[in-house]
Amino acid sequence: MRFSRIHETVYVDVYQVPLTIWLNLTPQNVLVTVSGQVYVTVYVDIPGPPPVVPPVLPPPVVGPPTFETPAATVTVDPATRTATVRVLTDRVQVFIQTQPHVPVLVVDIPPEADALAGRFVFPTAGLRALADARRTLELRGPSFSLRVSPATFLASLPEEARLAPDLALAGAPLTPQQVSAVLAEAPEFLEGLVHAGPMVDLDLGVETAPAGLPLTQYPLVLGLPFDRDALGDVSPLKLGVYRRDELTGGWHFVGGQVDVEAGVVYARLPSLSTYTVMAYDKTFADVIGHWSQADVEVMASKHMVRGMTAATFAPDARITRAQFTTLLVRALRLGEFLSPAATFSDVRPGDWHYGYVEAAARAGLVMGYPDGTFRPDAPVTRQEMAALVVRAARAAGREVVITPAQELRALFRFLDRDAIAEWALGAAARAAHIGIITGRTPVEYAPAADATRAEGTVMLLRLLRYLEEL
């Protein structure tokens, strides 16, 4: 027996048979070679095995695309329209060690993830490292940005959340269709408002638990871009961030520091909710053409000042001590304080200004008179106003500190500087030094003159800009 291969055919089982037998064989698949006169060698043609066909493999499983940033990984799932941004502790440590002079760790959200419902996962270990290094964390994308103070953020969490390995913040920009539906729910609350930017919904939770985690305070600053074309002729300085009231469908102003050049409005959040950016285009008939028109309209757009009526502001009317104190409390967002025991004998529960005056007294903004009165209906003088705004700056953490030489220079140009009361001299100089008071004329301070509603409004606007709140 022997084996051979001819044209991919395997021949096996070799036989020698008599010629007489061969003559009776069917020649199909038989190859005959005569080897002598009596016998033939018969090679039986046996087909070989079928060719090996490689198996058809299923296509490889491709997961959602992942993007790497210097501080996080971003996973995008188009099927569920979600994106997960996971900040990594080791990368946070690298940032702290290699960027000692950079105060903010920025996590950029790629455009592919921006329009999706986002989950931002923060490791508590990474937040502690940033807090210890006195750094800030900022999420930044085309639709919104969110700046977090890690130290205050961790301190505001419930104990069980501080022990969790990860925290998750949900941030979902609403689609144009969703925005239109939300705005259509309560159109009566939109009078005078111009919608000019994205709408985003924010919530917080432990990574392994549902959202809705409570905070004792919200050390979060939200940034929303605005659409200049949507504003039309409305000044971008009238923009603000508004929070949606889930019960009524209305909108509440929460703040608005406008970066006109960057096209972004920033606001410190009072809670996690639904936010958007709008402009309140409010004016009054009696401020048109007035020297204070632009500033009064900006302060009205921030809901800091109101008119005497819906159509009039009375810019040249005197402003009372109660009125200006109320404006200061609103500007600092102190809220009313309804003390059970009145601080001043002439400010009583039930008075419209009671809660504001009590809040101001509690914050150290107002002192009253030696006889225990506040004199709420008395006009406030310009030097008293200077003292109030300087105390307000201190209460907001931006105390004005100047040298004796700077104090002299701040008042030198005013010819009536000797008329400033001794108790008000330091405050008058500080208010002039930081540009809150510029004088009724370039050379007249007018310290004992009664301040007007326009002057009080403009001074508050300058104070808020000094505090970087506008």
Q: Which residue has the tokens 């020698």?
A: 16
Delimit the domains of the chain by residue range: 4-46, 66-280, 285-466
Q: Using an 8 Å Cβ cutoff, are 424 and 383 in contact?
A: yes
Letter for the amino acid at 250? G
Which whole-number Å values give the CA distances from 40 to 3, 37, 313, 396, in the listed order? 17, 8, 128, 117
**What tokens appear for 173 in the block?**
């920009």
Q: Using an 8 Å Cβ cutoff, are 243 and 250 in contact?
A: no
* Direct distance between the N- and C-terminal alpha carbons of the chain, in angstroms, rounded to an integer: 102
d(CA 207, CA 164): 8
- What count of other Cβ atoms lies within 10 Å of the Cβ of residue 137? 24
- Look at residues 173, 181, 219, 221 and name the one whose alpha carbon lies nearest to residue 197: 173
3-state secondary structure of 326: helix
Identify the pLDDT of residue 328.
93
Identify the pLDDT of residue 19.
44
Within a 13 Å sphere around the CA of 409, how many CA atoms are in the beta-carbon half? 8
Identify the pLDDT of residue 28.
47
* Dihedral Cα 419, 421, 424, 426, nearest 10 deg: 70
Q: Using an 8 Å Cβ cutoff, are 174 and 201 in contact?
A: yes
d(CA 136, CA 172): 22
d(CA 328, CA 8): 99
Identify the pLDDT of residue 169.
81
Q: Which residue has the tokens 């009375």?
A: 314
d(CA 401, CA 413): 20
d(CA 287, CA 282): 11
- Look at residues 297, 358, 367 and name the one whose alpha carbon lies nearest to residue 329: 358
Q: Using an 8 Å Cβ cutoff, are 389 and 463 in contact?
A: yes
- Look at residues 249, 278, 115, 273 and name the one whose alpha carbon lies nearest to residue 182: 249
Identify the pLDDT of residue 366.
92
**Local confidence pLDDT in tens for the 470 residues of the chain:** 444 444 444 444 444 444 444 444 444 444 444 444 444 454 445 555 666 666 665 555 455 677 787 888 888 877 777 788 888 999 999 999 999 999 999 988 877 776 666 778 888 999 999 999 999 999 888 888 989 889 988 888 877 777 788 888 888 888 899 999 999 988 888 989 999 999 999 887 665 544 455 555 667 899 999 999 999 999 999 999 999 998 888 999 998 899 999 999 999 888 888 999 999 999 999 999 999 999 999 999 999 999 999 999 999 999 999 999 999 998 888 889 998 999 999 999 999 999 999 999 999 999 889 999 999 999 999 999 999 999 999 999 999 999 999 999 999 999 999 999 999 999 999 999 999 999 999 999 999 999 999 999 999 999 999 998 88
**What tokens appear for 253 in the block?**
């102003």
Identify the pLDDT of residue 136.
93
d(CA 424, CA 367): 13
Cβ-Cβ contacts under 8 Å for 419 (sequence gap 6 or more): 445, 447, 448
